[in-house]
Amino acid sequence: MIEQNINQNQKKINFSKNYSEDETKKVIEFIKKLNKLIPQNMPENYKERTADFSRIRKLPFKVTVIFIIFSIGIQLKRGIDHIYNLFVDNGGYNFFKNKKLKFVNRSAITNARKKISWECIRNIYRSIINLIKKSEQFLVNDLKWKGLNVYAIDGSKITLPANKEIQENFDPHSGHENKNGQGYYPKCLIVTLYEVLKGIPIEMIVAPSRANERKEALKLLDYVEENDIIIFDRGYPWYVLICDMLHKKNHFLIKCQSKGSFKSVDQFFNSKRNDDIIRIKKPAHMVGDFEMYPKYIDVRAIKVKTSDEKMFVLITDLMDYDKYKTHEIIELYNRRWEIELHFRDEKITLEIEKFHSKSVNGILQELYAAIIILAITRMIIIYTKYQDIYKRKKGEFQFRNAISCVSKFLYILYLSTIPKKKERLIKKCIELIERISEKRYYKPKKPRKPQPRINKSATNKWIMARLRKENEKKNIA
């Protein structure tokens, strides 16, 4: 039946004409499960003081957490009090039994956020990812490559607000007092494990600016299941990393430059072979703690020629030539670009670098809130996307619009806990699905020309002055 009785008055709700009743119910069930993952009260092990969130306040714990996620996803970089008023106007008043308490000032928001540890937000994020990985949509073979989940690991630098606390924790070499050309604003390194076929960030590590990306990548291997494949860009060919992946029974696909990665890869690059098995020997400097690693590893090497006539080599442990064709492996590596689009969504769509907070705890809260809203949005898109009616429509959901819609409808998490508001919950879920599907992105029929990478950050006047002086000296000479 398309219509369903909801309350005692026997009111009937018409489910969307474009989306089936069953699929809408799946979205509702997903939202209900999400709500249970955000606790009503702050867990005791994350409290600095026992009195935190113990009394009835204007901003209880759950409201504050959802508001932090809302403030990132709404894509509006205004004053925090203005964003909070928008949060209330978009349905946040549902959180309050007494509507007189719904509007608060900026200091109340700041004080409430100070009480919440960023580790608590991260724990909520981990619970959401575990829920997603157990869902039916995550396990379907349509979103796998030859039955394997496909992950990518890569790093990105994030510019942070400039103050002493942040500089000491993330980038001690930044600031005016350091004359090494690092720049005034500190940066941090974010290394992300990303499911490229589903578009979901599985885990993220926030490290100091000068941290080693390879060592941080080792920590992310614990979140990858056996027999799944991980794609790496240049900069990650490391003997220790390859050995650890083989030990954990993970497949890998790594890009190597023509020179400087491994000696056997350099020899393969200069040979006439295009796809062959090569042997990588353990570097001579790996002694002491590295004695446990094998003396050599056999890998499959594939030459790849880019559109601008440049060459590079892919190394992988996918040895079966019949099951894993050369062109299929090259096409699989191209899917790694999805993690670059994820970084674009963080920096451009969510404008994550325009932080509301100026403290280390607040910065980490917002970084994890960003991937929470990205993961939730991607999952709702997957639920909506896999319907027979959708397949007749062209174009993909516009992701910027989807994030904005999900953020504006975050208050339905609270509606899912109130039996009397079940009717309204269904209506709002239908409205959310419809709004996400309204705007679509249509890929160009012809591939666009690759554009050079451009740094959009503000120009450093000191560096520009130095370059002008160098050019003047060259002209005089």
Chain centroid to CA 389? 29
Centre a 10 Å sphere on the Cβ of residue 108 and count the other Cβ atoms it contains. 16
DSSP 62-81: HHHHHHHHHHHHT---S-HH
Mean pLDDT, the chain, whole residue set: 83
Confidence of residue 458 (pLDDT cuts 50, 70, 90): low
Please state, in angstroms and rounded to a whole number, the distance separating the CA atoms of residues 1 and 21. 8
Q: Dihedral sign, CA of 298, 300, 303, 306?
A: negative
Please state, in angstroms and rounded to a whole number, the distance separating the CA atoms of residues 298 and 349. 42
Asked if pLDDT for residue 12 goes beyond 60, the answer is no
Chain centroid to CA 466? 37
Q: What is the pLDDT of residue 233?
A: 92
Q: Which of 89-93, 120-124, 209-213 has the lowest mean pLDDT?
A: 89-93
| Rounded mean pLDDT, 177-186 | 70
* pLDDT digit string, tens, across residues 375-421: 999 988 888 775 534 444 567 788 888 898 888 888 787 766 666 67
Rg (CA), the chain: 25
* 423 vs 350, more confident: 350
Confidence of residue 8 (pLDDT cuts 50, 70, 90): very low
* pLDDT digit string, tens, across residues 121-131: 999 999 999 99
Q: Which of 143-147, 168-172, 188-192, 394-398 has the lowest mean pLDDT?
A: 394-398
Asked if pLDDT for residue 460 goes beyond 70, the answer is no
End-to-end CA distance of the chain: 85
Asked if pLDDT for residue 274 goes beyond 80, the answer is yes
Asked if pLDDT for residue 244 goes beyond 80, the answer is yes
Q: What is the pLDDT of residue 477?
A: 65
Whole-number percent of the chain with pLDDT over 90 = 37
Please state, in angstroms and rounded to a whole number, the distance separating the CA atoms of residues 266 and 208. 32
Asked if pLDDT for residue 223 goes beyond 60, the answer is yes
* pLDDT digit string, tens, across residues 34-53: 888 988 888 888 887 877 87
| Rounded mean pLDDT, 58-66 | 85
The torsion angles phi and psi of 406, rounded to 5 degrees, stand at -65, -40
DSSP 338-366: HHHHHHHIIIIIS-TTS-S--SHHHHHHH
**Which residues have a Cβ under 8 Å from the Cβ of 55 and sit 6 or more positions away?**
none
Q: What is the pLDDT of residue 195?
A: 94
Confidence of residue 328 (pLDDT cuts 50, 70, 90): very high
Q: For residue 77, what are the CA distances in angstroms to 81, 84, 87, 313, 406? A: 11, 12, 13, 43, 17
Confidence of residue 446 (pLDDT cuts 50, 70, 90): confident
Confidence of residue 180 (pLDDT cuts 50, 70, 90): low
Please state, in angstroms and rounded to a whole number, the distance separating the CA atoms of residues 426 and 19. 13
- For residues 243, 246, 248, 253, the Cα torsion angle rounded to the nearest 10 degrees is 100
pTM of the shown model: 0.86
Q: Kind and range of the H or E element at 428?
A: helix 422-438
Confidence of residue 10 (pLDDT cuts 50, 70, 90): very low
Count of residues making up the chain: 477
Please state, in angstroms and rounded to a whole number, the distance separating the CA atoms of residues 410 and 450. 37
Asked if pLDDT for residue 260 goes beyond 50, the answer is yes
| Rounded mean pLDDT, 335-360 | 92
Please state, in angstroms and rounded to a whole number, the distance separating the CA atoms of residues 429 and 426. 5
CATH 3.90.350.10 intervals, the chain: 147-345
Which residue in 171, 158, 208, 219 sits closest to 350, CA to CA? 158
Q: What is the pLDDT of residue 464?
A: 76
Q: Which of 53-57, 110-114, 122-126 has the lowest mean pLDDT?
A: 53-57
Q: What is the pLDDT of residue 245?
A: 94
Asked if pLDDT for residue 140 goes beyond 60, the answer is yes
The pairing of beta strand 229-232 with beta strand 275-281: unpaired
| Rounded mean pLDDT, 59-81 | 84
* pLDDT digit string, tens, across residues 392-402: 456 778 888 88
Q: Which of 17-31, 32-46, 258-272 has the lowest mean pLDDT?
A: 17-31
| Rounded mean pLDDT, 356-370 | 93
Homologous superfamily (CATH) for 147-345: Transposase Inhibitor Protein From Tn5; Chain A, domain 1 (3.90.350.10)
Whole-number percent of the chain with pLDDT over 70 = 85
Q: What is the pLDDT of residue 216?
A: 94
